[in-house]
Amino acid sequence: MGVFFAIIAIFAGCKKDMSEYLKHEDLYGYATNSTVYDNQPKVFSQNITFNAGFTFATYSGITPYFERGDVVLTYYLYEKLGGEQFWVALPFKEDYYDINWFAEFSDNNGLMYINAEKSDGSSPFNSSHTRGFKFVLIRSKIIYTNPNVDFTDYEEVSKAFNLVDKQEEIF
């Protein structure tokens, strides 16, 4: 019986520390089902082109990573000044151009619809038009465990979750 306990003690004390092999930042940009990835927000920066006369455009780059219950925060590149980019959360009304911007996503697969409409519901674009967007995929449990984060502020979300944006500048 004493030998049995000695063997259990040896195996119980032989837990290998894998932290030197798997680093948190190594998981950015990779789709995995690991626990670490499941808790990590992911940024998608994308130029979206709206066709003439259309009030919406789609983006499917999130769908391989999306799981039911996840949330997608959407930010619009409002302007660039002095080499800096300034982002606003959707929904957003761009008064100067009379454009209402809002986003929708499928709760089944994360397919994004970006909508741009004038006040009367018509398309604001007479020709093809491209705008910059950031989509932040957040696991639903992260929102509940971070109640003090202002999710309408891209810079605060980026800082709170150490977001890595692979594409430095868009548009």
Omega before 124 within 30 of 0, i.e. cis: no
| pTM, entire model | 0.70
Q: Residue written as tokens 């989509």? A: 135
- Residue 163 to residue 152: CA distance in whole angstroms: 15
User: DSSP characters for 11-31?
Assistant: HHT-----TTT--GGGGTT--
What does the pLDDT average to over 132-149? 86
What does the pLDDT average to over 131-157? 87
What does the pLDDT average to over 46-56? 96
In the chain, domain spans: 41-161
Q: Which tokens belong to 76?
A: 């619009």
Residue 38 pLDDT class (50, 70, 90 cuts): low
Residue 69 pLDDT class (50, 70, 90 cuts): confident
DSSP 168: S
Q: What is the pLDDT of residue 21?
A: 34
Query: Burial of 59 by CB count in 10 Å (0-12 exposed, 13-18 middle, 19+ buried)?
Result: buried
Q: Is the pLDDT of residue 61 over 80?
A: yes
Nearest to 46 by CA among 140, 166, 158: 166
